[in-house]
Amino acid sequence: MKLNLAARLFAAVLGAAVVVAVAMGVGAHVNLNRDFLGYLNEQAVLRLELAVPGVTAGYQQQGGWEFLRQRPELWFRLLRPLPEGGSAALTERPKAAPTPAELTGASRRFTLLDAERRRVVGFDAPAADAIERGIVVDGLTVGWLVLTPFESVSSGAEKRFADAQQRTAWVVGGGAVLLAAAVAFWASRRLLRPVREVAEATHRLAAGDYTTRVPARGGDDEIGRLAHDFNQLSLTLQRNESMRREFMADVSHELRTPLGVLHGELEALEDGVRRLDTPALRSLKSEVVTLHKLVDDLYELSLADVGALSYRKTELDLREIIDDTAGAFGERLRSTGLALQVQLPAEPLPAFGDARRLRQLFANLFENSCRYTDAGGALHLQARREGAQMLIDLHDSAPGVRDEQLPRLFERFFRAEASRSRRSGGAGLGLSICQRIVQAHEGRIEARASPLGGLWLRVALPAHG
């Protein structure tokens, strides 16, 4: 059975807590049997060192060890430390202070051996690794005081202490496991909830529901950024889908109009309603040209979108291209009553680009102004160099474009006034192609309101040299 992410997280955190708890218990046990027992044995050795002077003084006072064999109850009194600066009799020695060694019964593990290493009194089964200290009187070793070290915690206060330590370790470990289980449960429910919401929303998005959104949890952590990025992705896909549908509708509309005209003209000719003369042929050719231009524009835009639009860039003078293009539109501008004013600098405008595409750029700009500027208006074009870029400004007179529509002028098929555009024959693709050409030359194009009352198009291209 496959576990979901929440179950795996819960199991991982809980498993880690269990491992830590077990490690704590094992560590406490090892520490008790090694470090704690070592501490107890060190304290017992210190107690052994303190007892040696008293045992030596007792031998000197009694003249031997026979008194201990006769009165073994004096043994523990003999082990009492001597007072500072003196050698008191056995009956005058004060009780030993309650040191850790005394509390753990170190003196009960002392054994007294005579010079022949025979047991005199004390612990009756000294270990083979017992710690020994010699009892030296007048330069002769008269006996041995032996300490049997702890091998394990077995009884008494140390046993109770060890049990208490183990109980504490297991209680702390159990509490840690319960706390980890609570944290894991909270994390699996609280922290992973946004992830589950994003996963479910992703399924709906993949199924085509681009209106899907996930609730914003707030904060600037990874979960919050994930939700924000998902909503941005969904919004982008929704916009793209809307643009795709609008694009298909616009394409079908633009194709339907000239095809409808052609169909009507051909039926009129076939039925004899209209004669096949020069005006009829001119009308048919006009619709074919419109249709051909629309298809060409769509083809160029599709190539630009996939980066397949060819560019052959060379060093050129932008001033010559602008001047030639303006001259080519001179007759058309005069026929529509538009006054053209061109201001070009005396020095060259060096650029690095595709001359054919740049001619297409300025031709589309002039075409746009010719189509949408009222008769009797004016066009002003100015080109100049400013620093590392060249600026080309094209102003035309009324009618203008509303401020909220200016950013959309470079969208495909967008027309500020559909009826006027339909009358002028524009499909709303010229400025889109201009934008692609400018971007391919690492420049930018902007639309603003013109002081002449119409549209102000600014093209900025990088200067060369």
| pLDDT higher than threshold 80 for residue 4 | no
Tokens of 2: 């496959």
| pLDDT higher than threshold 70 for residue 417 | no
Q: Pick the more confident residue, 45 or 253.
A: 45
pLDDT at 464: 85
For the stretch 235-244, pLDDT in tens is: 888 887 877 7
Query: Mean of the pLDDT values across residues 185-214?
Result: 82
| Nearest alpha-carbon partner for 150 in 73, 38, 286 | 38
Torsion sign over Cα 96, 99, 105, 107: negative
Q: Pick the more confident residue, 386 or 303.
A: 386
Beta bridge partners of 449: 455
DSSP 404: G
Q: Pick the more confident residue, 390 or 416.
A: 390
The residue whose two tokens read 């470079």 is 410
Q: How many CA atoms lie within 13 A of 221 on its CB side?
A: 7
Tokens of 22: 């077990």
Q: Pick the more confident residue, 40 or 406.
A: 406
DSSP letter for each residue of 150-184: PSS--SHHHHHHHHHHHHHHHHHHHHHHHHHHHHH
Query: Mean of the pLDDT values across residues 157-175?
Result: 70
| pLDDT higher than threshold 80 for residue 198 | yes
State pTM to two decimals.
Answer: 0.48
Query: At residue 306, what are phi and psi to the nearest 5 degrees?
Result: -95, 5
Q: Pick the more confident residue, 391 or 168.
A: 391
> CA-to-CA distance for 211 and 90, rounded, in angstroms?
99
Q: Pick the more confident residue, 448 or 86.
A: 448
pLDDT at 5: 61
Angle, CA of 380, 384 and 388, to the nearest 5°: 145
pLDDT at 423: 43
For the stretch 375-388, pLDDT in tens is: 889 999 999 999 89
| pLDDT higher than threshold 60 for residue 229 | yes
> CA-to-CA distance for 39 and 255, rounded, in angstroms?
98
Beta bridge partners of 132: 146
Tokens of 20: 């830590």
Within the chain, what is the greatest distance between any pair of CA atoms? 159
The domain ranges of the chain are: 5-157, 215-309, 314-462
Beta bridge partners of 392: 383, 459
> CA-to-CA distance for 324 and 135, rounded, in angstroms?
124
The residue whose two tokens read 């080519």 is 328
In this structure, the strands spanning 378-386 and 389-397 are antiparallel
Query: At residue 410, what are phi and psi to the nearest 5 degrees?
Result: -95, 5
pLDDT-based confidence at 460, cuts 50/70/90?
very high
Angle, CA of 422, 424 and 429, to the nearest 5°: 75
Q: Pick the more confident residue, 100 or 169.
A: 169
CB of 411 closer than 8 Å to CB of 301: no
pLDDT at 322: 93
For the stretch 171-194, pLDDT in tens is: 877 787 788 778 777 776 776 777
In this structure, the strands spanning 378-386 and 339-343 are parallel
| pLDDT higher than threshold 70 for residue 77 | yes
For the stretch 327-367, pLDDT in tens is: 988 888 888 889 999 999 999 999 999 998 899 899 889 98
Q: What is the dihedral of CA 124, 130, 134, 135, to 10 degrees?
A: -30
Identify the CATH class of 215-309. Answer: mainly alpha
> CA-to-CA distance for 247 and 242, rounded, in angstroms?
8
Q: What's at 12, amino acid-wise?
A: A
pLDDT at 344: 93
| pLDDT higher than threshold 70 for residue 103 | no
| pLDDT higher than threshold 90 for residue 154 | no
> CA-to-CA distance for 326 and 168, rounded, in angstroms?
95
- Please state whether 138 falls in left (phi above 0), alpha (psi between -120 and 50) or beta: left
H-type helices in 187-277, by residue range? 193-206, 222-271
CB atoms within 10 A of CB 9: 17
| Nearest alpha-carbon partner for 421 in 407, 440, 437, 405 | 405
**Cα distances (angstroms) measured from residue 50 to each of 44, 55, 83, 101, 204:** 10, 9, 11, 11, 84
Query: Mean of the pLDDT values across residues 27-41?
Result: 70
pLDDT at 228: 83
pLDDT at 266: 87
> CA-to-CA distance for 449 and 386, rounded, in angstroms?
22
Query: At residue 462, what are phi and psi to the nearest 5 degrees?
Result: -70, 140
| Domain covering 314-462 in this structure, CATH number | 3.30.565.10
pLDDT at 97: 65
The residue whose two tokens read 């400025």 is 431
CB of 382 closer than 8 Å to CB of 392: yes
CB of 58 closer than 8 Å to CB of 78: yes
pLDDT at 418: 43
Angle, CA of 296, 297 and 302, to the nearest 5°: 100
| pLDDT higher than threshold 50 for residue 48 | yes
Highest mean pLDDT of the ranges 27-41, 103-117, 143-157: 103-117
Q: Is 202 exposed, middle or buried (0-12, 13-18, 19+ CB in 10 A)?
A: middle
CB of 18 closer than 8 Å to CB of 10: no
**Cα distances (angstroms) measured from residue 144 to each of 38, 120, 126, 140:** 23, 10, 12, 12
Angle, CA of 69, 75 and 79, to the nearest 5°: 145
The residue whose two tokens read 């025979």 is 118
